[in-house]
Amino acid sequence: MDNYTFIDLDGVILNSEEIMLERKYNFGLCNHKDKNEFYNYFEFTNNHPEEWDYIIREAKSINYSVEIIKELENLKKKIAILTKIHTLYEMKVKVEDLRQNRKIQCPIFFVPPGIKKYEIIIPNNQLLIDDSEKNINGWISHGGRGIIFDSTIPINTNKKVKSLDFLLKE
Ligand SMILES: [Mg+2]
């Protein structure tokens, strides 16, 4: 891969994380700072894979990210999705949803538990847009360029953007 822009999925393209946390909460797993709760919840989703169908199907495009990505594809921009997964079923649902439901065509790279994004893609001065500051810091410290996505900020800065539309102007 050479000079691509990598875009995170959960929390940048779709609000899937919000929906996942809502579901987790409804199961009585209310402390989102407790790692064990996430372990228990993902164990539960292994036995009830339809949980991921619900989360991904119900997720909404954040600040027109899905629409902007399709426009970037029309403009032949070199973009790819770089997303963390917790289970193989989650990976399957994400591919089906992005291809069949959202009609996104760009490459999708999956990052399994225990692996960092910069290990799947060698950053090599390429750009990552991610809502996790931790992911961005890891990416930059391994030679990449990074921008934090935060849909709630009033205006874009050099380090943070609220929408992917700045990529249309590049
Ligand atoms: Mg994210």
Q: What is the pLDDT of residues 49-97, one digit of tens each?
A: 899 999 999 999 999 999 999 999 999 999 999 999 988 999 999 999 9
Distance 131 CA to ligand 1 centre (A): 5
DSSP per-residue letters across 55-74: HHHH--BSTTHHHHHHHHHH
Distance 17 CA to ligand 1 centre (A): 8
Distance 150 CA to ligand 1 centre (A): 10
Whole-number Å distance between alpha carbons of 87 and 38: 12
- Whole-prediction pTM: 0.92
Distance 47 CA to ligand 1 centre (A): 24
Angle formed by the axes of helices 35-47 and 50-58, nearest 10°:
110
Distance 123 CA to ligand 1 centre (A): 17
Distance 16 CA to ligand 1 centre (A): 9
Residues 19-28: pLDDT tens digits? 999 999 999 9
Q: Which CATH number fits domain 5-15+60-169: 3.40.50.1000, 1.20.140.10, 2.40.160.40, 3.40.50.920?
A: 3.40.50.1000
User: How many CB atoms are located within 10 Å of the residue 104 CB?
Assistant: 19
- The H or E element that residue 147 is part of is strand 145-149
Domain boundaries for CATH 3.40.50.1000 within the chain: 5-15+60-169
The answer to whether residue 140 scores a pLDDT higher than 90 is yes
Distance 12 CA to ligand 1 centre (A): 6
Residue 9, pLDDT score: 98
- Average of pLDDT values for 124-141? 98
DSSP letter (8 states) at residue 80: E
